[in-house]
């Protein structure tokens, strides 16, 4: 079965209430590459994986490294948890927008029943001068009952304060593992839709991986669709509807793959990328170099007006 994309999304900004519009516009046009794109720097690996992610580039163990990088290289925003937003962001306030990530967890226990509870709130974001709030939703986790209820509270507060809501839409948990795994097209596509349905303004997605063997376990018709990576990400972006999509990077890959992903998400109608380890696991000048290439790739592949 082949799918055809029939829609072109309407402007998201045009629908948003003033507070959300003001803040999101700042990320899309005033900071970063601009022109309606998003180049985001995530620094939540210290909580999600522990310090081990910083070892390839010891300088990165000091959060100041990433903060400085985000400010000097001209990012649309950086995303981190409350502790660093409180102790490191003040030095860069006004130089780069902040996305306060309000939930998180260690990866020490298994993620069979994944749930990230909130360690901060939208009021913290307001107080710290953040321009958006980030929330990790584990789509399909057996604990989705608690997750969706918690997200509701964050969404409501985002509406109350005019704060854009960025949802890290991650398929996770023992149930998704049995249906083809958490990076399958089926899983990412579902996650994109869920995030949009739950009120996300921006959705962070992982690149779907096509694996014909595993995909057989996915529900129909995913179990017998033949799509390539580019088509899969295009479908996923479409599933997010009017919500903007940024592509997540994951662990470090080679430069060509980084840039291919940038191209693919933009051509799929996405708005940008959120690459962490692929950037700050590099030494300073090397990091600046790949960032420049990412920027250029984003800007030269813009398809959508946000």
What's the rounded Cα separation, in Å, for the pair 303 and 301? 6
Q: What is the largest CA-CA distance in the chain?
A: 53
CB atoms within 10 A of CB 57: 18
Least distance (Å) between residue 176 CB and a second copy: 5
Backbone angles phi, psi at 11, to 5 degrees: -65, 130
SS3 assignment, position 181: coil
Least distance (Å) between residue 83 CB and a second copy: 4
Least distance (Å) between residue 162 CB and a second copy: 13
Q: Is 10 a catalytic residue?
A: no
Nearer to a second copy, 22 or 260 (CB): 22
Nearer to a second copy, 43 or 262 (CB): 43
Cβ 114 vs Cβ 77: under 8 Å:
no
Nearer to a second copy, 20 or 295 (CB): 20
Least distance (Å) between residue 198 CB and a second copy: 5
Give ∠ CA 116-118-121 in degrees, rounded to 5: 150
User: What is the length of the chain?
Assistant: 306
Least distance (Å) between residue 189 CB and a second copy: 5
With b for 16 or more beta-carbon neighbours within 10 A and e for fewer, the 224-244 pattern comes to: ebebeeebbbbbbbbbbbbbb
Structure tokens at 24: 């999101």
Nearer to a second copy, 35 or 106 (CB): 106
Active-site option among 20, 101, 179, 204: 204
Q: Is 179 a catalytic residue?
A: no
What's the rounded Cα separation, in Å, for the pair 195 and 139? 9
Unique residue bearing structure tokens 């996923």:
236
Nearer to a second copy, 239 or 248 (CB): 239
What's the rounded Cα separation, in Å, for the pair 281 and 180? 30
Nearer to a second copy, 31 or 185 (CB): 185
Active-site option among 75, 170, 186, 222: 170
Taking the C-alpha atoms of 274, 37, 235 and 251 in order, what is their torsion angle to the nearest 10 degrees? -10
Bridge-based pairing of strands 77-80 and 98-101 is: parallel
Least distance (Å) between residue 233 CB and a second copy: 14
Unique residue bearing structure tokens 């072109």:
8
* Catalytically annotated residues: 170, 204
């Amino acid at each position: 079965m082949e799918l055809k994309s029939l829609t072109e999304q309407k402007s998201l900004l045009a629908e948003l209430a003033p507070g959300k519009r003001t803040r999101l516009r700042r990320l899309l046009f005033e900071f970063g590459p601009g022109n309606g794109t998003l180049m985001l720097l995530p620094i939540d690996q210290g909580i999600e994986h522990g310090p081990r992610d910083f070892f390839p580039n010891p300088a990165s163990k000091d959060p100041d490294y990433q903060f400085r990088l985000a400010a000097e290289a001209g990012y649309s925003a950086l995303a981190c948890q409350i502790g660093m937003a409180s102790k490191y962001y003040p030095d860069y306030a006004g130089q780069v927008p902040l996305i306060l990530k309000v939930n998180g967890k260690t990866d020490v226990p298994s993620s069979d029943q994944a749930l990230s509870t909130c360690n901060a709130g939208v009021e913290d974001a307001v107080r710290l001068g953040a321009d958006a709030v980030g929330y990790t939703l584990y789509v399909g986790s057996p604990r989705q009952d608690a997750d969706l209820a918690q997200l509701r509270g964050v969404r409501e507060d985002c509406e109350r304060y005019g704060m854009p809501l960025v949802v890290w839409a991650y398929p996770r948990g023992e149930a998704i593992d049995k249906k083809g795994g958490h990076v399958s097209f089926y899983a990412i596509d579902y996650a994109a839709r869920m995030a949009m349905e739950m009120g996300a303004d921006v959705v962070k997605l992982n690149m779907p991986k096509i694996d014909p063997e595993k995909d057989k376990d996915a529900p129909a018709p995913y179990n017998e669709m033949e799509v390539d990576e580019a088509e899969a990400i295009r479908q996923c972006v479409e599933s997010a509807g009017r919500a903007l999509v940024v592509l997540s990077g994951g662990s470090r890959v080679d430069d060509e793959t980084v840039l291919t992903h940038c191209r693919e998400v933009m051509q799929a109608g996405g708005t940008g990328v959120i690459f962490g380890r692929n950037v700050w696991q590099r030494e300073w000048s090397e990091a600046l170099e790949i960032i420049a290439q990412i920027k250029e790739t984003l800007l030269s592949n813009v398809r959508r007006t946000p």
